[in-house]
Amino acid sequence: MNVKTNIPLSTLTTMRLGGSANYVIEVTSDKDLREVYKKSKQSGQPTYIIGGGSNLIAHDEGFSGTIIHNKIMGIEVTNDNAQATTVTVGAGEIWDDFVKQMVERNLSGIEAMSGIPGTVGAAPVQNIGAYGQELADTFVSLAAYDTQNDSFVTLDKSACGFAYRHSIFRGEQMGRYIITRVTLTLGKKPPQPPFYDALQKYFEQDQINTTTVTVQMIRDAVLKIRSNKLPNPLQLPNAGSFFKNPIVEKQLGDTLKATHPDMPTYPVDETHVKIPAGWLIQSCMLKGKILHGIKVHDGNAVVLVNQSAKGYSDLVSARQEIVDAVYQKFHISLEQEPLELQ
């Protein structure tokens, strides 16, 4: 357990905004986690759990309580057979480091989510996904500390309420559970084409026979594609994809497609389609624009980069201009993807 005081939240979040937190305590075990949380609550202080800080926006006023920095580590194979391997991972592990290890073992199911910043514990919160894969596809269960009942529990897939970039942990049960470990089952069969559109095009451009593609080739391709579209937060402060790709009624999608034939749409079910938020923002001529010190990234308009913002209010102003522009042109309301620390 490591206790720090008056720590700037700008050093803990990849958007590099925010005031200071009274206390930041790193925990490495279930015992420490429970002890720190209970002491904080007994003292009447608010608490908040963070991992890598890559999907989190901090406010200028800081945080007047205790930030619990989840550093629970470990990777353990809990079941293995000819078809699949089940792995339990500590919430404090870096997500991409974990993906890399699984790819090196030639295990499939999360390779297309290579390069996503943050920790394993954050992955179920927004049901992370990329290039045709999402966490729910391989998810078995998670272990968590239930702050309401002061107990450690196991939640299976159905209990987590996974949806597109959503779960109970950022919905109706926000703040109740502190995730300590995540269990996934990964396959041993080679990836099967056709792949997600961007990957399929990547392989075709390089004249690669998609029937010979391996999980390592998918990881390499994803990392290459992401390097051109998603800036490294260590180099350019950002929170990854800032807006969710909106899911709209198919009727609206068809109407918009008639007037914007180049608009990409992806079927979600029989009555809904998904439209890339980046395309909508770019179509409003905002790509590359600097709004209140926040730059709409040149390579991917769904990413907002903190170029010279003085505080959270600048981000709010930039966000609102983007949301208003998209709604005025397409009658679609963009939703923010990162959570807010408050």
Active-site residue, selected from the candidate residues 10, 54, 167, 241: 241
Report residue 30 CA to chain centroid gap: 24
Taking the CA atoms of 129, 133, 136 and 142 in sequence, report the sign of the dihedral they define.
negative
**What amino acid is encoded at 86 in this protein?**
T
Any idea which residue has 């999608």 for tokens? Answer: 253
3-state DSSP call for residue 324?
A: helix
Residue 321 designated active-site: no
**What amino acid is encoded at 51 in this protein?**
G
DSSP-H helix ranges across the chain: 30-42, 95-104, 157-160, 197-205, 215-229, 250-259, 277-283, 312-330
Residue 165 designated active-site: yes
Q: Where are the beta strands (DSSP E) in 160-214?
A: 177-187
The CA distances from residue 239 to 24, 35, 40, 223, 302, in Å, are: 21, 30, 28, 17, 10
Q: Phi then psi for 195, rounded to 5 degrees?
A: -95, 175
Active-site residue, selected from the candidate residues 165, 170, 181, 219: 165
Distance CA 156, CA 191 (A): 26
Residue 241 designated active-site: yes
Q: What angle do CA 78, 80, 86 make, to 5 degrees?
A: 50
Residues with a known catalytic role: 165, 241, 337
